[in-house]
Amino acid sequence: MYRYIPLLLLVILSACQKETEQVFKPLEEYPDLLSEGVTMRYYDSASLEIIIRTPKQVRLRTQDEVFPKGMNVEFYKGSDSIQSTMVCDSAFYHKKEAYWSFFGDVEVDNRKEKRNLKSQYLEWRPEIEEVYTDKPVVIISEGQQINGKGLRAKEDFSEYEILNVTGIIDLSE
């Protein structure tokens, strides 16, 4: 009878190990940092360029960042006043590739050009100052509405190109 005790202990320990593996996730799945009520300011040569506000920021161990409760971005670009804004329902910052993904009701408003963009998804590459999407977009400018699928634009939305355009455009001078 005593010769079966080591075998019995081995069976019990292996069962405990499986339960432990299910309870504890790999460290990569846990957040590295959790912040609430965050305001980030980005400067270039002591000139305010961008302000980002978000209710919640989660930094993962991979250094990617998740903004599950949305964000508000203000672009100043060498001006004392806001040139354009961007709001979204949620966002994700891809650290390694250095770009942002915005999800949900994404809206960009260029105050200077009086132009508004709406989409369900946008990507922003700050390094090249460009915004793009392959999803449907709506642009409203001076009472005109342009619809399309896909867009490439400057990050402040001062210049843009819509792919697969539909809509009514007033060309009168």
Query: Looking at per-residue confidence, does 52 or 156 come out higher?
Result: 52
Out of 2.60.450.10, 3.10.20.440, 3.30.390.30, 2.60.120.10, the CATH code matching 27-168 is 2.60.450.10
Arithmetic mean of pLDDT over the chain: 83
Q: Are 48 and 79 in contact (CB under 8 A)?
A: no
Query: Looking at per-residue confidence, does 2 or 94 come out higher?
Result: 94
Task: Look up the pTM and report it.
Answer: 0.75
Domain boundaries, the chain: 27-168
Q: Are 145 and 139 in contact (CB under 8 A)?
A: yes
For residue 5, report the phi and psi dihedrals to the nearest 5 degrees. -60, -45
What pLDDT does 158 receive? 77
What pLDDT does 77 receive? 78
pLDDT, tens digit (0-9, with 9 covering 90-100), for 74-132: 988 777 889 889 999 999 999 999 999 999 999 999 888 888 999 999 999 989 989 99
